Structure 1
C-alpha cells in the first residue's frame, strides 16, 4: 500500500501541486513541500509547479472578471458576502489587493474576479501577481519542507516508511480546519458589517 502511495506521489505529485495551486492550494503546496523533503518530489520542481500554478490560477480569475463581467457566475458572485468589500479594496488599493488577494483562503476566486471587474490594468496586475506568486510559493512550499525537517527530528527514520502518509493527511486536515475557522470568523464579521 505504502509503495503504491509513494509511486503515485512520484508520478503525479508535481501535477497535483500545479493543479492545487491554481485553485486555492495552500494545503497542496505545503504537502508538496513535505514530500519534497521526503525526496519523493524534487524540491525545485515542486516550487516551480506551485509558483506557475498560483500565477495561472489568479490570472485566469482576473481575465474571467475582465472579459465575462455579465456572465451568470460573475453575477452570482456579486451577491456573495464580502463582494462589496473586496471590490472597494480592489478599486482603492489595487496593488495591495492584487498582491494579498491569494492569501485570503476561500475568497481567492472572488478576489481575482474583482481585480478584473475593478479594471486594474494588465501591467499592474501582472507585476504584482508575479511578485505575490513568488512569495506565496516560497512561503507554503517552504512551510511543508521545513515541517518535514521538524517531523523527521521528532519521528526519525520511521518517517521514511508509512508515517509520511499519515503526516500528509494530518497536514491537509489541520490546514483545512484552520481555514474553515478563519473563513467563518471573517464571514461572520462581514455579515455584522453589512447589517
Structure 2
C-alpha cells in the first residue's frame, strides 16, 4: 500500500502541489519542500509548482473581483468581515497589500477579490503578485526542506518509505493545525 502511495506521490505530487497552492496552499508548499529534501521531487520542480499555483490562485481571485464584481460569489465575499478594511489597505498601500496579503491565513481569497475591486492596475498587480508568489514559495518550501533535514537527522540518512510518508503526514497535520489556530486567533481578535 505504501509503495502505491509513493508511486502516486512521485508521479502526481507536483501536480498536487500546484493545485494545493492555487488555494491557500501553505501545507502543500511545506510538503513539497520536505519531498524535495528527500529527493522525491526536484527542488526546482517543487518551486515552480508552488510558485505557479500561488500566482495563478491570486490572479484568479483578482480577475474574479475585477470582472465579476456584480455577481453573487464576489458579493458574498465582499460581505465578509474585514473586507472594507482590505479595500482601505489596498487603496493606501497597494504594493505592500499585494505582497503581504497571502500571509494572512484564510484571507487570500477575500484579499485577491479586494485587489480586483480596487484601482490597482492589472499589470502592477501581476508584477507584485509574481514577486510575492516567488518569496512565498521560497519561504514555505524552505520550511519543509529544513524540516526534512531535521527528520533526516532524527531518523537517519535514508528514510524508509513508510517513515517518509509518516513524516510528511506529520508536516501536513502540524501546518494545518498551526494555520487553523492562527486563523482562529486573528478572527477572534478582529471581532473585538
Q: What TM-score range do you get, normalising by the shorter chain? A: over 0.9
Moved more, 142-151 or 7-16: 142-151
8 Å Cα contact 2:21-2:54 kept in structure 1: yes
Give the match for residue 56 of structure 1: 56
8 Å Cα contact 2:65-2:112 kept in structure 1: yes
Displacement after TM superposition at 1:158 (Å): 5.9
Residues in 2 aligned to 1:157 and 1:119: alpha-carbon distance in whole angstroms:
52
Residues in 2 aligned to 1:157 and 1:138: alpha-carbon distance in whole angstroms:
24
Displacement after TM superposition at 1:163 (Å): 1.0
Residues in 1 aligned to 2:5 and 2:33: alpha-carbon distance in whole angstroms:
16
Give the match for residue 111 of structure 1: 111
Aligned pair count reads: 192
Q: For 2:74, what is the secondary structure of its paired residue?
A: helix
Q: For 1:39, what is the secondary structure of its paired residue?
A: coil
- How does the TM-score come out when normalised to structure 2? 0.96
Give the match for residue 42 of structure 1: 42
Deviation by residue 1:37-85 (Cα, 9 ceiling, x = unmatched): 1111111111111111111111111011000011101111122111111
Residues in 2 aligned to 1:17 and 1:161: alpha-carbon distance in whole angstroms:
19
Residues in 1 aligned to 2:46 and 2:105: alpha-carbon distance in whole angstroms:
21
Residues in 2 aligned to 1:92 and 1:123: alpha-carbon distance in whole angstroms:
18
8 Å Cα contact 1:38-1:160 kept in structure 2: no
8 Å Cα contact 2:17-2:29 kept in structure 1: yes
Q: For 2:40, what is the secondary structure of its paired residue?
A: coil
Q: Which runs of 5+ in 1 are unaligned?
A: none
- How does the TM-score come out when normalised to structure 1? 0.95
- Is 1:98 aligned to residue 98 of structure 2? yes
8 Å Cα contact 2:64-2:116 kept in structure 1: yes
Displacement after TM superposition at 1:119 (Å): 2.2
Displacement after TM superposition at 1:191 (Å): 1.3
Residues in 2 aligned to 1:115 and 1:104: alpha-carbon distance in whole angstroms:
14
Q: Which runs of 5+ in 2 are unaligned?
A: none
Give the match for residue 78 of structure 2: 78
8 Å Cα contact 2:78-2:114 kept in structure 1: no
